[in-house]
Amino acid sequence: MIFKKDFAWGAATASYQNEGGMNADGKGLSIWDVFTHEKGRVADGTNGDVACDQYHRIEEDIDIMKELSMNAYRFSLSWPRIMPEGNGQVNEKGLDFYDRMVDSLLERGITPYITLFHWDLPYELYLKGGWLNPDMPEWFAEYTSAVMNRLSDRVDHWITQNEPQCYIGSGMASGIHAPGLKMNKKDCLQAAHNSLLAHGRSVQAIRAEARKTPVIGYAPAAWWLWSPVSDDPADIEACRKQTFCADEDQVGGSAWWMDPVFLGKYPESAVKIVEEYMPRIGQGDMKLISQPVDFLGINVYQTYLGKAAEDGCCITVDHKPGYDKTAYPWPITPQALYWGPKFFSERYHTQIIVTENGLSNTDWIHLDGKVHDPQRIDFTHKYLKQLKRAAEEGIDIGGYFHWTLTDNFEWATGYGNRFGLVYVDFETNRRIIKDSGYWYKSVIESNGEII
């Protein structure tokens, strides 16, 4: 058996992209609620007010997971649904929704993997400075405690933050995501540091207050990843170094976000490059950030390709003309699910869970009433073959979560990208399981043996 007996096979979603229910039952505003209502922010002029309406259709979605034999579901909580002001008063009705969701999942034998923060920051905290406010770590810990108080008697798998590179980089540096800011480098690095401190305080709160022994992870984006174009040791080493290299835009780099958590320090070579913009590192900050966690979650969609130059440095290899690409369009590079787990496990010596992997595809309902998506099947099959290769070499891989369960609101592109195993008609929110969903079911039932 290549994959572990208790391997987590599931799908991943995010609260703002799926739930809808923008004003339901006392929920507060998030930065995405505000951002998407500004003209020109979203490509197709839409918003996530309703999204997939999961807030009212959660039982249907969990039934679909059960039908597809999933044994795990990764989803995020809406911070402003639970704490409309971001801190202080807890909205019990908001927690009731997640309470019911957890019970329904467990009744069907599906393990909840809860992500505490997937980008939808409470708007009221944004008005207080958001990630630039030095109180953010304590606010995040307070929110974590409210969740622990309600759900930790049944939930034991927790992820603190999802892709901080995106909510800091895309939200506060480039401005293409909420809240739409274009801040200077010094402020971005300060916000990044506060985010890492918030992760550490959240880990502390989980360990102190969880009523079941917790399994805690952290899920930064893993797109800053180079795969060698050959098995030449020189190419492999060049790509390994490049994956963790220094760069002027540290908000995007893997090492900037992973080294502090797993090694207790910022990468020295990177610090030298941005030294004049560095935030003040307080006494005890790095110890707090590097609180022990149980796994690294990696979100992998594509990889850069590289080879060694004469001096041993990595040369990025361009994709050939007419290269294979998804509808997004991102290049299709299955080797990312081998080299990613390999490089990250070698550096950080921790279990790896693929917390996101999938593709945007041009899906539609065919004349027979079904949704045939052979591209998604082929894509996922190729990526899982590479993950299986990593597992065969003894890399500790704990699970795979396909992005995503249902077609949903894809951030600044709106509803123009379909990533789901399940088709959604966004006018009626009717669900149709795609061919890829049934194929994934067969993979799960064989524990990956058919890959």
Alpha helices in 373-418 (DSSP H): 374-392
What is the distance between the alpha carbons of residues 207 and 158, in angstroms, rounded to a whole number?
Answer: 11
Residue 163 among the catalytic residues? yes
How many Cα atoms occupy the beta-carbon half-sphere of 243 within 13 Å? 29
Exposed, middle or buried, 295 (CB in 10 Å: 0-12/13-18/19+)? Answer: buried
What is the distance between the alpha carbons of residues 357 and 188, in angstroms, rounded to a whole number?
Answer: 27
Q: Which residues contact 212 (CB under 8 A, 6 or more apart)?
A: 152, 153, 154, 155, 156
Neighbours of 19 (CB within 10 A): 30
Q: What tokens appear for 346 in the block?
A: 């070698």
What is the distance between the alpha carbons of residues 73 and 114, in angstroms, rounded to a whole number?
Answer: 8
Question: Out of 19, 124, 142, 163, which one is annotated catalytic?
Answer: 163
Dihedral (CA of 193, 197, 198, 203) sign: positive
Question: Out of 19, 124, 142, 356, which one is annotated catalytic?
Answer: 356
Q: Nearest-CA neighbor of 69 among 448, 451, 449, 438? A: 438
Residue 392 among the catalytic residues? no
Q: How far is CA 297 from CA 113, 219, 399, 448, in A?
A: 11, 4, 9, 19
Identify whether the C-beta of residue 147 lies closer than 8 Å to the C-beta of residue 157: no
Q: How far, in whole angstroms, is CA 324 from its chain's centroid?
A: 24
Label the pairing between strands 304-308 and 215-219: unpaired
Q: Please give the sequence-ordered ranges of beta strands (E in DSSP) within 52-139, or none if there are none.
A: 72-76, 111-117
Neighbours of 44 (CB within 10 A): 11
Annotated catalytic residues are: 163, 356
